Chain A
Amino acid sequence: MPVSPSPNAIPARRSVARETHPDPNSPAYRATEFRHPKQPLIIIPQTLTELTAPVYGHDAIGPADHDLTVQHAAAPLGQRIIVTGRVLDEDDRPVPNTLIEVWQANAAGRYAHKVDRWDAPLDANFTGAGRTLTDAEGRYRFITIHPGAYPWRNHDNAWRPAHIHFSLFGQAFATRLVTQMYFPGDPLLALDPIFNSVPEGARHRLVSGFDLSITTPQWALGYQFDIVLRGRAATPMER
């Protein structure tokens, strides 16, 4: 597998990052209490190590990997949906041929995972894992079912809003992103400490949009979710 050529420095735009990403110390999400560093981060220049990444080819992806509804003997229960969008950099350029991994709960809000003990049914026809590569225009497309909300023990009567986990590589070690996609109009969003760990002005970027033009008649509802990774502008790094 080849390694991507070394790109230009990736602008750090640290003030933008502060207005975008969660504070690792977010007390409302209790698990952060002992899992956030207390020492300040040390700023380092981007070297070959930070500016390269593995290049995954199409041989890394199976034909059913992007369709979470055809990975077993029968179709999973739940509302069939299409989730599609573009992966862009901060300068609006598409990020082509980059690996996206997704995982999610089933329609009842249960994960096919040994540590999920919530009393909701598993679905033998749903694993909840998918992956794909973006095309030359940065587009991706998954077919899945609408995940259910589920309770967790963070606080009294806590429920996670329906979400799909996304993991993206981008074209350098420094551009990697792991995030969650939510659904429009979900009343649980306002109550969720993980969603609300994101600065208020950036939260809407995690909410997909219902789109009738993506919706396929007599088959599946369509949602659009565009993702923006750190850019590759040829400008000097902010220090």
Chain B
Amino acid sequence: MASLTPFQTVGPYLHIGLRVGLEKAPAPASRVVIRGCLLDGKGAGIPDGVLEWWHPSLTTMHRSMTGEDGGFLFEAVKPPAIDGPDGSVQAPHFAVRVLARGILTHYVTRLYFADDSATASDPILKLVPEGRRPTLLAQPVSANEYRFDVVVQGQNETVFFDI
């Protein structure tokens, strides 16, 4: 059996190399806009990070580079519900991967829509202790626009998964 290659950090110059998947999403009526901030354990924005977004309904993996204040923007078509384990149904969600300077591996989480009626019964979300579930919920701020912060450490630390 071949031995796994270890992870290393993307470092501060990630923008040079991570360039695919940065194309703007089209703008159909079903588009959702996600705005948020990638925050460290001191509550400061992480300016040298990238969030990668995936769902099987997408045709490319999307990337959002963080800005100087750690802020990011992601636009896509809202994903449909899909099959889950053992005949269950997964609520609309995105898988999210966080990479940054100071992150030696990758942190994997999910975004769910707080105002979607299917979210509460999602089989993966139910594996998360109830008190921490809100960290995975994007909150509506206007029609089709949501707020979703990712906190890598500390108070309201985002739930990260081992997949």
Binding site for B on A (CB under 8 A): 1-3, 12, 14, 16-17, 20-24, 26, 29, 31-39, 41-50, 52-54, 56, 60, 88-92, 99, 101-103, 105, 111-113, 115-116, 127-131, 165, 167, 169, 173-174, 176-180, 194-195, 197-199, 202-203, 205-206, 227-231
Contact A22 B56 (CB under 8 A): no
Contact across chains for A44 and B16 when beta carbons are under 8 A apart: no
Of B13, B18, B85, B103, the residue contacting A111 (CB under 8 A) is B13
Neighbour of B17 across the interface among A46, A165, A198, CB < 8 A: A165
Interface majority SS (helix, strand, loop, mixed), chain B: loop
Minimal Cβ-Cβ distance residue in A for B57: A3
The answer, among A39, A88, A128, for a CB contact under 8 Å with B157, is A39
| A–B complex contacts, Cβ < 8 Å, 22 sampled | A24-B105, A31-B102, A32-B103, A32-B104, A34-B40, A37-B152, A39-B157, A45-B85, A47-B83, A47-B85, A49-B110, A91-B1, A102-B17, A103-B17, A112-B16, A130-B17, A167-B18, A177-B7, A178-B10, A194-B9, A195-B8, A228-B2
Query: Could you tell me if B3 and A20 are in contact, using CB atoms closer than 8 angstroms?
Result: yes
Contact of A198 with B6 at beta-carbon distance under 8 Å, contacts A37-B153, A112-B16 already known? yes
Closest 5 A/B residue pairs (Cβ): A103-B17, A31-B102, A34-B41, A35-B102, A22-B104
Most chain A CB within a 10 A radius of its CB, from B4, B18, B90: B4
Flag if A180 contacts B20 (CB, 8 Å): no
Cβ < 8 Å to A, chain B residues 30-84: 40-42, 44, 46, 48, 52, 54-56, 58-61, 82-84
A21-B6, A38-B157, A52-B56 given; name 18 further pairs at CB < 8 Å.
Answer: A1-B59, A3-B59, A16-B4, A21-B7, A24-B105, A32-B102, A33-B102, A34-B44, A37-B158, A41-B161, A42-B127, A47-B124, A99-B20, A103-B18, A167-B17, A167-B18, A173-B163, A179-B7
- Give the complex CA separation of A47 and B55 in angstroms: 11
- Interface 9-mer from B93-101, B113-121, B141-149: B93-101
Task: Assess whether A35 is in contact with B41, with CB atoms less than 8 Å apart.
Answer: yes
| Bound CA–CA A50/B16 (angstroms) | 27
Q: How far is the CA of A26 from the CA of B97 in the complex (A)?
A: 20
B58 touches A54 (CB 8 A): yes
With A37-B152, A48-B56 in contact, is A43–B161 under 8 Å at CB? Answer: yes
B128 in the interface, Cβ–Cβ < 8 Å?
yes
For A227, the closest partner residue in chain B by CB is: B5
